[in-house]
Amino acid sequence: MNREAANISEPNLLKNQIAGTRAQNPDAREEPSAQSAEPNIKMSTKGLKVFYGDKQALFDIALDMEEKSVTALIGPSGCGKSTFLRCLNRMNDTIDGCAIDGNVTIDGQDIYDSVLDVVELRARIGMVFQKPNPFPKSIYDNVAYGPRIHGLAHNQKDLNSIVRGSLERAGLLKEVEDRLDEPGTGLSGGQQQRLCIARAIAVSPEVILMDEPCSALDPIATAHIEELIDELRTNFTIVIVTHNMQQAARVSQKTAFFHLGKLVETNTTEEIFTSPRDERTQGYITGRYG
């Protein structure tokens, strides 16, 4: 559980932090107010309810996620952020006793529609998990697995270029290009997580879901991944769950605050951290509770 925010009692301190981050990051997206066009909504939920048996975990969540941008989901432990994230690519289907009600759409299409193939959906919406979980295969086979089962490569040359391209975009190619046949589990934690990201982007998904991708990593690896997220958002829609508010401030454009299964507040990142509207949000970001 991340209590780094505990020391901050002044919202202005966060505001300065955000300003500082943006100053350090010259490639950061322009302020939303400078956007001329209406941003496209890639995925959206309406009235989403999730039940684990008799217990209700999410209450009427309505959230829009913009395309080619990073949406962060923050909130204290057990508030339902991961549950919500897993609804977006129907991973909750694999859990016994999990019932979902409501509407989740991608590009306007309901993903819980019975005619939709869940396998194809998950090729469009990739996921990176909290603990790096590369397959116990070689690095090459890890990244090549997705393209292989979805038939994205016509021949070996195609596959090679897909694998190398994904590894390069994940920032891993230089470190592993001379040992692509070695098992993926032999890499360090940060490298494994980048491998998982490479594996996810190898199938060219439209959306990437990240469930606390850096919580098991050291600060340097975390920095690498945050850089990577910033590069990836030019091509992918990213939704990231994070415990670390500074991380949310650094990487995301929009933030949603969850509390006890309800979506309390959602706004641009800068607004949420500098002038939150709800007092629960205020309490969380100032560290009064975690």
Is residue 88 a contact partner of residue 125, using CB atoms and an 8 Å limit? yes
Site for another protein contains 185 (CB under 8 A): yes
**What region does 135 belong to: left with phi over 0, alpha with psi -120 to 50, or beta?**
beta
Site string for another protein, 255-284 (x = CB under 8 A): ------------------------------
Please identify, using beta-carbon distances, which residue of 27 and 117 lies nearer to another protein. 117
Is residue 147 a contact partner of residue 205, using CB atoms and an 8 Å limit? no
Please identify, using beta-carbon distances, which residue of 182 and 279 lies nearer to another protein. 182
State which of residues 79, 180, 200, 285 lies at the interface with another protein (CB under 8 A). Answer: 200
Other CB atoms within 10 A of residue 41 CB: 15
Sign of the four-CA dihedral 261, 262, 268, 271? negative
Please identify, using beta-carbon distances, which residue of 29 and 150 lies nearer to another protein. 150
State which of residues 57, 65, 123, 264 lies at the interface with another protein (CB under 8 A). Answer: 123
Site for another protein contains 37 (CB under 8 A): no
State which of residues 70, 127, 163, 285 lies at the interface with another protein (CB under 8 A). Answer: 127
Other CB atoms within 10 A of residue 40 CB: 12
CB < 8 Å & 24+ apart, contacts of 274-278: 274/11, 274/12, 274/14, 274/15, 274/18, 275/11, 276/11
Judged by CB under 8 A, which stretch of 21-29, 171-179, 198-206, 278-286 contacts another protein? 198-206
Residue matched to tokens 């959306």: 207
Min dist CB 91 to another protein, Å, is 6
Distance CA 23, CA 21 (A): 5
CA angle, residues 225, 230, 234, in degrees to nearest 5: 135
Considering CB under 8 A, how many residues would be counted as binding another protein?
26
Please identify, using beta-carbon distances, which residue of 197 and 285 lies nearer to another protein. 197
Residues in region 82-121 near another protein by CB under 8 A: 89, 91, 94, 96, 119-121
Q: Which residues contact 100 (CB under 8 A, 6 or more apart)?
A: 48, 49, 50, 51, 87, 92, 112
Min dist CB 106 to another protein, Å, is 14
Nearest to 262 by CA among 83, 65, 52: 83
Reduce the DSSP state of residue 280 to 3 states and report it.
helix
Judged by CB under 8 A, which stretch of 50-58, 123-131, 215-223, 262-270 contacts another protein? 123-131
State which of residues 68, 150, 164, 262 lies at the interface with another protein (CB under 8 A). Answer: 150
State which of residues 29, 39, 129, 164 lies at the interface with another protein (CB under 8 A). Answer: 129
Residues of the shown chain interacting with another protein in the complex, contacts defined by CB under 8 A? 89, 91, 94, 96, 119-123, 126-127, 129, 131, 133-136, 145-146, 149-150, 185, 196, 199-200, 203
